[in-house]
Amino acid sequence: MMLSVALRHVFPGFTLDAGFQAPAGLTALFGRSGSGKTTIVNAVAGLLRPQSGRVAVGDAVLTDSARGIFLPPHRRGIGYVFQEARLFPHLTVRQNLLYGHWFTGRGRKADLSHVVEMLGVGPLLHRRPAALSGGERQRVALGRAILSHPRLLLMDEPLAALDQPRKEEILPYLERLRDQAGLPILYVSHSPAEIARLATTVVLVDKGRVTAAGPFADMLSDPAIAPLFGIAEAGSVLTARIEAQEPDGLTRLSTPSGPLFLPRIAAPIGTGLRLRILAQDVMIAVAPPRGISALNVIPARVHDMTAVPGGVLVRLNAGEQMILSRVTARSADLLRLSPGLPVHAVLKAVSVAPGTIGFSAG
Ligand SMILES: Nc1ncnc2c1ncn2[C@@H]1O[C@H](COP(=O)(O)OP(=O)(O)OP(=O)(O)O)[C@@H](O)[C@H]1O
């Protein structure tokens, strides 16, 4: 199931001219304030009728200006999750979850138990929203959205109102939803960390246009794009799998770039992971380093180099994955870095914070 969007709408002083495809999984809309993300979301939701354009999910056409099609919001089959969970205060969690269910009349009892389990809200079913934490409320909002059997989920900064611990509590549920729901999720976020952890596809919006779009790993390690996230946030995402729990408290991972060691990750052998490796945490050595404490030394080759504010972003080819490193211009000169040069990428085990590690199915 694929969401395809093509929109053109001229406001005084702002033109939206944006097109992209969002496959099943989570598509992050990213762009600075005023770039047009909310306008895109509104047009997909049916709150804005574009002067011209087409919005479709699979075979279901929601908007097609050429054919005069414009479904009203409530007939689009879209589940929403906003910054603030808009739950009904007088209903229990169970009734809130079932609300969308009744509404569409397409529900089955089995779905409720599946969603309750997926989102871990079983113990909360008989409470009212006032007795829930912000994170719990947001989980119920996710559950309600999914139980309305939508074609598409729209999430507009669903974590923005939560503090860091609450965010970390809810991220695993968003990951499950992404991997299990089998529908496109359109997700607006300002947070590179969230995008690195959750996105399947990244769509970059600037001045009403889509300036780049593609699979998250390519997008995040693209030196032309990474600086847009803020130079301190630039980094790559590696996929990995838990291989062994070592007796000294480390977890051994296998990655397409070779083995990696990180502080204990409490998950079973075989678990798939996404690791966000910040460019500023990766050192480059032109000879195999000896006598250093860093546990992770990954053989690689310089792919390309891009000058950025505060240094040089070096893209390293490591197995089938790209690793980004940021070094000063002086280091790049001293090491005579140039495309094709064999090097070693050095990563401290403790530089990957546990809260940033993403879990993925398969
Ligand atoms: N009804 C309207 N009339 C005129 N201009 C509008 C209208 N709606 C949106 N705009 C303009 O469109 C531009 C994009 O706004 P939009 O809210 O989509 O940005 P955004 O990327 O979601 O920003 P933020 O991250 O701050 O939420 C802005 O310049 C805004 O002023």
- Residue 156 has which token pair? 């507009």
Residue type, 352: V
Measured between alpha carbons, how far is residue 76 from residues 62, 198, 231 in Å? 6, 25, 39
State whether 151 and 76 are in the same domain.
yes
State whether 43 and 127 are in the same domain.
yes
For residue 40, give the ligand 1 atom closest to its CA.
Answer: 18
State whether 169 and 303 are in the same domain.
no
State whether 272 and 150 are in the same domain.
no
Q: Kindly provide the ipTM of the predicted complex, given to two decimals.
A: 0.94
CATH code assigned at 140: 3.40.50.300
Residues 6+ apart with CB under 8 A from 65: 50, 51, 52, 53, 54
Number of structural domains (the chain) is 2
User: 294: domain range?
Assistant: 235-360
- Name the helix (H) or strand (E) containing 330: helix 329-334
State whether 139 and 248 are in the same domain.
no
Q: pLDDT tens digits for the chain (362 residues)?
A: 899 999 999 999 999 999 999 999 999 999 888 999 999 999 999 999 999 999 999 999 999 999 999 999 989 999 988 888 789 999 999 999 988 665 454 545 558 888 888 888 999 999 999 999 888 998 999 889 888 889 999 999 988 888 888 888 888 888 988 988 889 999 998 888 888 889 999 999 999 999 999 998 888 888 888 777 777 888 888 899 999 999 999 999 999 988 999 999 999 999 999 998 999 999 999 998 887 777 899 999 999 999 988 899 999 999 888 999 999 999 999 999 999 999 999 988 777 877 778 888 65
- d(CA 48, ligand 1 centre) in Å: 12
State whether 90 and 162 are in the same domain.
yes
- d(CA 44, ligand 1 centre) in Å: 15
For residue 16, give the ligand 1 atom closest to its CA.
Answer: 12
- d(CA 13, ligand 1 centre) in Å: 10
Residue ending a domain, among 168, 202, 227, is 227
- d(CA 190, ligand 1 centre) in Å: 15
User: Do β-strands 60-64 and 69-70 pair in parallel, antiparallel, or remain unpaired?
Assistant: antiparallel
Pocket of ligand 1 (CB under 6 A): 11-12, 14, 31, 33-39
Task: Identify the residue whose C-alpha is closest to ligand 1 atom 28.
Answer: 34
**Which residues partner with 150 through β-bridges?**
none
Please tell me the distance from the alpha carbon of residue 14 to that of residue 117, in angstroms, as a whole number.
44
- d(CA 72, ligand 1 centre) in Å: 21
State whether 205 and 283 are in the same domain.
no
Q: What is the CA radius of gyration of the chain?
A: 22
Whole-model pTM: value is 0.86
Task: Identify the residue whose C-alpha is closest to ligand 1 atom 2.
Answer: 11
Shortest CA distance to 352 belongs to which of 224, 251, 254? 251
Residue ending a domain, among 207, 227, 247, is 227
CB 4 within 8 A of CB 64: no
CB 361 within 8 A of CB 272: yes
